[in-house]
Chains A and B, each alone.
Chain A
């Protein structure tokens, strides 16, 4: 459910303090000069709606709640909203001839190591500036936005029903999750309820995405720890999921499988054989993870590296496995169940140590939970019929935010539609957006050679952050 409450700027801090109890803060965004501050709780999304008058500046929330810092910089960059009392006024986006200078530590013996934006592996662009004392990192500055394509202004004025393929391609890692959030937004505005079979099919597609992303993360963590054999094994297992993805949806990464009104025709046409193949893959994944997590030399690298304390994760509004590994309950599938998750009594995995080991082990357990869900949903789908996607006439004007649990955490999508079915505003808050500040803090006090390991234990996206 989506609710809005209008709160004047002067009353927002008090209203926000109150709304934060028991809720997961998602961030804030502006449509023209109206700012919405979003929170998720077990009753759904609450938006505190704050219209700014002409010339009125936004009183920054970031000093009190650092999680709003990126959001406020984005409102300034894209909507031209002036910020007052902001702790960080660096531009969020830039041209290649005006790259912002990194914040570096100063002092005797401090030296600076810079990597990126082009990297040694096959990864997205970012510039990392490490201030070091000896081998230890004193401060890490992460300069993102190299993939900024100004996509959100581009969405404005376009036919919402025709945009699903573009939404699926904002980020290749979170494609299914975002397509699901987008479909739910349109269906929510149009007042459409889906049948059980379609909801199970969507759950299956989302869990298959989670499995292939988590497997890739484990392979990358192994690479960060210098355990090449495990990287290759994880890639091999992921490939089997990608091939199955292709068999069930016609696309190895499941792009375009969830569409407004349902799932694409022809998807998951043979649930019984899909279930049988998944069982085989599951057994091999368990064999792989059992061996990986029994390797003492690997565990020595994972234990105690890149620690994120729970209080820090809370202050930055962390979500997903990165937050759950530090003890925060934030899995949208459990906190605010949607679709078929409403009927399966899902309970989320958590850990407390907040280190690379915790983030790795959490993924291992989440993969197992995903297979539990897949097995059950495929059995249900085998009985239920899977209809063609519902026809949606032009959805009515309105504003909505939907949230789903992607592999990286809460994926939030806000949609404002005009009366002609055209997009007034389409805004994405990705889980990676929420979690990037953690990576920089997690590195403090760790050694430079552990940067790949710590970084990959988050393995955050850039594309849906930069947009």
Chain B
């Protein structure tokens, strides 16, 4: 719980890889006044070039695989990937179903996993705080 940890801002690029949109509804809730992630210095950015963190949802789909890889490649190192939700973590309803993959976070080698179907905003905030700490370590 260092000062430094809370001083870290996060530029987040959100990547949807076959999610049901439930995780997105909860990610969006983070901007509600009850959570207000802007107070933490966190923002959702319009390009992977601006990002130092990728949040990813869904089991991964055939059609998204290339765009997902390119998004990650376009982000400057060090970058932290956060698997948001059960599907991205590899344990969700649609992992391995139909043509879906085994979890987008698994494929993109996520360092942080936030479980839930979908995760609550509180769980997301905790996961992002852990990601900020990890980024700090990788940057130092």
Contact = CB atoms under 8 A, between A and B. Distances in A.
B76 interface: no
A361 to B, nearest CB: 23
Interface string A199-227: 00000000000000000100000000000
Contacts of A462: 21
B61 A149 contact: yes
Interface in B110-124: 117-118, 120-121
A149 B18 contact: yes
A252 B26 contact: yes
A148 B64 CA distance: 9
A171 interface: yes
A292 B46 CA distance: 26
Interface string B61-79: 1111111100100000000
Contact of B63 (A94, A170, A461): A94
A95 B65 CA distance: 9
A80 interface: no
A166 B31 CA distance: 28
B44 interface: yes
Interface stretch (A231-239, A258-266, A386-394): A231-239
Given A118-B71, A173-B25, A149 B16 contact: no
A238 B34 CA distance: 11
A1 interface: no
B63 A169 contact: no
Contacts of A252: 26, 120
B61 to A, nearest CB: 6
What band does the interface of chain A fall in when counting residues whose beta carbon is under 8 Å from B? 35 or more
Contacts of A93: 63
A149 B93 contact: no
Contact of B14 (A121, A146, A169, A242): A121
B120 to A, nearest CB: 7
A123 B24 contact: yes
Contacts of A123: 16, 24
B66 A165 contact: no
Interface stretch (A24-32, A150-158, A330-338, A440-448): A150-158
Contacts of B17: 125
B22 A122 contact: no
Given A118-B71, A125-B67, A166-B93, A242 B98 contact: no
Given A96-B62, A96-B64, A99-B63, A118 B15 contact: yes
A439 interface: no
A169 B25 contact: no
A148 B61 contact: yes
A280 interface: no
A236 B66 CA distance: 36
A253 B21 CA distance: 11
A175 B22 contact: yes
Interface string A240-259: 00100000000011010000
Given A118-B15, A125-B67, A169-B94, 4 more contacts: A125-B17, A149-B61, A175-B20, A463-B19
7 contacts: A95-B62, A118-B13, A122-B24, A125-B67, A147-B19, A172-B22, A235-B32
User: Nearest 6 CB-CB pairs, A to B?
Assistant: A172-B22, A150-B98, A96-B66, A120-B46, A235-B32, A150-B99
